Amino acid sequence: MTPAQRYWAPAAWIAGGWQRSVVLEVDARGHWSHIAAGVPAPDGAERLAGPVLPGLVDAHSHAFQRAFAGLAESRDGAPDQGDDFWSWRDRMYKVANAVTPESLRAIAAHLYVELLRGGYTQVCEFHYLQHQADGTPCDDPLALSMALADAAGDAGIGLTLLPALYERAGFTAPVLRPDQRRFHAGAADVWQRSRQFERRVAAAGRASLVPLNAGLAIHSVRAAAEQSIVELRRLAHEFDGPIHVHVAEQRAELRDCLAVTGRTPVAWLAGQGWLDARWQLVHATHVDAGEIAATAASGAAVVICPSTEGNLGDGFTDVPAWLAADVDLGIGSDSNVTRSWREELRWMEYGQRLKLERRNVCAQPGAVPPRPDTAASLFERARAGGGRAAGHPTWGIVPGARADLLVADPDDASLLGLPQARWLDALVFSSPGRPWRDVMVAGRWALRHHHHAQVERIGAAFAQAMRALWGE
């Protein structure tokens, strides 16, 4: 536990807007105990160097894929031979099957420092590397899970582990492909690993170093049999943590699901009566108005990963319709080609502008309360949605929430001379901007003055892991 602390910020993003002269008090648990605006800097309070925002949750990450970023941007074969998600996936599996617990820790730690620099203070790891590459169990069933926990500790970021139910190659392929064998996990496996992870980190005192918790994941409706999802729901009947699932990312998945079940994936999940406020629908790219309405009625949320969806050519989800339906929209780095929430929010809006040939598509001047500013509209959805995705219903600069914050660099060229009301707009849409000056996670500083205390060691370990994967 950390000692109680007091800070003063010249401005802070509270309750959806900027407030001046803010006192922030952190209790011994690393949560906000008192927040007050319009207060002169009290004696003994540390003065923060710039305007303050809450850190956001990276609601969907596959850490090992950071080792693949930038390495799938060429196309071989005949001029008319296409490249899409499925061909990218085949190449990505080669990386998935080369990663060891040691290299996963090195890759993830490097990624997590980058995520901190990009303004994330918690990451949800959608985790399906469970076994050795040939499918045989590791001596420690949690070896790869604990590698991620160790990486989070190295970086100082919060982690929500989401072991994934993954047992078949497709709707009509009842077993996994050879290059998917290390992903295998049934309903009982997923439930046990989630609970065992939390017990182990608690017993080792790890959660006192960085915030660690676990939820559940279902890789996709194509990769999990109906009876297995039913069994996982039975095991998790009294579980109040998050449940994540990839859904409706690719049109081929829609066609296959429709052929087998008579419905598309979101409609099938909703029609089973399974969705509730615990569920996080990751991507939900190809959905119709009925599926959006059913999701909203269930209380489920959506996680959008604009940079990965753009990189993979997934398509555009209907962000204005999700916003109009009052569905929380978390954001995720997914394949980790981008590690900054500012860029994710920027491309969430820009994708809609390119699609609809309009500006400020995601602004909500008619909402209650009104959100006429596009950046604020998206940021507030991502703040609330990300907290839910990580199993933290209270998230932000509010009493009782975890004490996470970002200090913007007052020398950032994108902010110079701008009125305070436009700061968030500039941080998102006037790019590139400087990385966050300081980053706090649960009352502890993870970055100070743009510097991470372990960056040299973490960077060297990452470079060594990359050389082992790719050679010179």
Q: Is 283 a catalytic residue?
A: yes
Contact indicator for 74, 68 with CB cutoff of 8 Å = no
- Provide the 3-class DSSP secondary structure of residue 307: helix
Contact indicator for 246, 221 with CB cutoff of 8 Å = no
Query: Residue 133: what are its φ and ψ, rounded to 5°?
Result: -60, -30
Q: Which residue carries 């045989």 as its tokens?
A: 136
Q: Which residue carries 């999700």 as its tokens?
A: 322
| End-to-end alpha carbon distance in the chain | 44
Active-site residue, from 283, 286, 392, 452: 283
How far apart CA 284 and CA 264 sit, in angstroms, is 11
How far apart CA 263 and CA 272 sit, in angstroms, is 11
How far apart CA 242 and CA 160 sit, in angstroms, is 9
Active-site residue, from 334, 373, 404, 438: 334
Side chain identity, residue 239? F
Contact indicator for 182, 132 with CB cutoff of 8 Å = yes
Q: Which residue carries 């996936």 as its tokens?
A: 89
For 24, residues 6+ apart whose C-beta sits below 8 A from its C-beta are 6, 7, 8, 9, 12, 32, 34, 35, 52, 397, 403, 405
How far apart CA 58 and CA 53 sit, in angstroms, is 15
Tokens at 180, concatenated: 């998917």
Tokens at 164, concatenated: 């994934």
Burial 435-458 (b: 16+ CB within 10 A, else e): bbbbbbbbbbebbeeeebeebeeb
Contact indicator for 323, 362 with CB cutoff of 8 Å = yes
For 212, residues 6+ apart whose C-beta sits below 8 A from its C-beta are 149, 152, 158, 159, 160, 161, 197, 198, 201, 206
Q: Which residues are part of the catalytic machinery?
A: 283, 334
